[in-house]
Amino acid sequence: MSNRKYPNWFFIWPLVTILYLNAAFAQIDIKVAPVFYLPNSPESGIYSLSFDVMAKSRDQVYAISAFQGALELDSLFQSLNPNVVFDLQHFPETAYFTTCDYTPENGRIRFVYTWKNENFQIIGMNWTTVTRITILISSDRTGMSLTWYEKEPNFFVSSESFIDITGNKQEIPDLFQKSTLVFQFPNEGMYPISLPGTQSDMRLSVLFPLSPVCFGYLNSHYVDVDTLMAGYGYWLYVPGDVAPLTISLQLIPLNQYSRVIERPGWHLLGSASQNSPAFTVPNNRGLLPLREYDINAGEYIFVDETSPQKAFWLAVTDCCSVHLGATPALPGKLLTKSENLLYPAPPEPPVASPAQKQSDAINCLQLYQNFPNPFNPLTTITWQIPKTEHLAVKIFNTNGQVVKTLCDKKCKKGFYQAVWDGTDNYFHPVCSGIYLVRLEADNDYVCRKIIFMK
């Protein structure tokens, strides 16, 4: 007989005690899926880490009378004094008694759902979000972890037979695992972009240090921005003297998101980390003619879904919310192409003024601060040279010894990037500590201090 502890209500129903004597096979799987890690706004200083607790059946559809689970934050998480918010995605309060709480003393997140008086919710053979948990912290720290709390049972109970159908809990992934994004800018011009992810510093000068200006779209006007946010679309200007340009970024993915649209008209939004259709809620207010700008053709085109790293336009008739990466409970419909044709085209791309186009690019030897710093395991190092000359980029330890050579050759005028993975020239891992990056040209050199942490 299982020694799992059940809540008191479990023993009220007839037949339950009889069926409880029979050991049930695990037929439900449970996992934690990261959703996003984002600042609430560029100025707020509050970061939101959101993840879904998801479940699916292995063999059939089950109607669920109860679900209980618990998670535990690590000590670093607890030290940040987080606030925890629950979004009842699958077990509405009209149908279930809910107990969701966070105990700061032990870092424990608990959720209990017990059927009340409405229709039972079901768990099928596709992954279903049963609850979304958002942790609010006043820090841009990363590296915190989450575990299942093993001393408190995680289980489902089927309503039809009142049997335990608890499944296996999958290992919780790294909530801050980064993905590498590569942006290609072949020529001078304006490029519609979005960031399907985030990092601790989202300033334009850090993300795209060689671009002097970037535009967002606010209240029916283009505005010059110096800090970018995931979930928004932008026009990025790339100067001719740095093109062709390749930029690599390591971001914590934005797997899905929702945006509240408060004004009718056109809006320039960003993408999620994967191809996604877009939906509006409520469905009687939002119209969604999705359009992207085709750089090669120089015109707007209709699209059925958004693509990572691209910006897209949508028009709405009233206040609504837009969802990417997940289908909401009551999604609005996409407009057909014929309906799209009734809508005027989005605003033309912005034009950078001569003053905005001016850049400090290519007029001096320059080594930019690596990012991230401190780092583990990868960091990106960017530099520029004002003319064609022999160039060496080397990493030294504090004893003055060369640890790694990133570049040692004749290079043309331009901007360059290299990624250091914390290994030496023989691909052996180096020790944690302070290192110097030295950029050497024919008659000049520049140094930067970087920190490698394990």
**Per-residue confidence (pLDDT) for residue 160, from 0 to 100:** 65
Q: CB–CB of 42/203 below 8 Å?
A: no
pLDDT, average across residues 210-220: 87
User: pLDDT by residue (tens digit) across 5-17?
Assistant: 444 444 333 333 2
Distance between CA atoms of 132 and 147, rounded to whole angstroms? 16
Higher pLDDT, 229 or 366: 229
Distance between CA atoms of 371 and 451, rounded to whole angstroms? 10
Higher pLDDT, 200 or 32: 32
pLDDT, average across residues 376-397: 85
Question: Which strand ranges, in their side-by-side order, compose the sheet holding 414-420?
Answer: 366-367, 379-385, 414-420
Residue 70 confidence (pLDDT) above 90: yes
Distance between CA atoms of 323 and 277, rounded to whole angstroms? 9
Residue 4 confidence (pLDDT) above 50: no
pLDDT, average across residues 405-417: 82
Distance between CA atoms of 362 and 383, rounded to whole angstroms? 10
Query: Per residue in 375-408, is it b (16+ CB within 10 Å) or e — as a string?
Result: beeebbbbbbbeeeeebbbbbebeeeeebbebee
| Residue found under tokens 């890690």 | 37
- Cα dihedral 147/152/153/157 (nearest 10): -120
Question: Which strand ranges, in their side-by-side order, compose the sheet holding 257-261?
Answer: 257-261, 320-324, 278-281
**Per-residue confidence (pLDDT) for residue 236, from 0 to 100:** 95
Fold of the 8-158 domain: Immunoglobulin-like (2.60.40)
**Per-residue confidence (pLDDT) for residue 234, from 0 to 100:** 96
**Per-residue confidence (pLDDT) for residue 399, from 0 to 100:** 85
| Residue found under tokens 């999604």 | 331
User: pLDDT by residue (tens digit) across 149-183?
Assistant: 988 777 888 876 677 787 788 999 998 888 889 99
Residue 217 confidence (pLDDT) above 50: yes
Q: Start-end ranges of CATH 2.60.40.4070 in the chain?
A: 366-452
**Coil, strand or helix: which one is 204?**
helix
**Per-residue confidence (pLDDT) for residue 16, from 0 to 100:** 34
**Per-residue confidence (pLDDT) for residue 21, from 0 to 100:** 30
Q: Tell me the pLDDT of the chain averaged across its residues.
A: 81
User: pLDDT by residue (tens digit) across 78-132?
Assistant: 999 999 999 887 888 888 999 999 999 999 999 999 988 778 888 889 898 889 9
Give percent above pLDDT 90 in the chain.
24
Q: CB–CB of 273/446 below 8 Å?
A: no
Fold of the 366-452 domain: Immunoglobulin-like (2.60.40)
Q: For the chain, how big is the Rg over CA atoms in Å?
A: 26
Q: CB–CB of 186/238 below 8 Å?
A: no
> What's the token pair of residue 451?
């920190």
pLDDT, average across residues 429-433: 90
Q: Indicate the burial class of 24 (C-beta count within 10 angstroms; 0-12, 13-18, 19 or more).
A: middle
Flag whether the pTM goes above 0.75: no
Q: CB–CB of 352/344 below 8 Å?
A: no
Residue 320 confidence (pLDDT) above 90: no
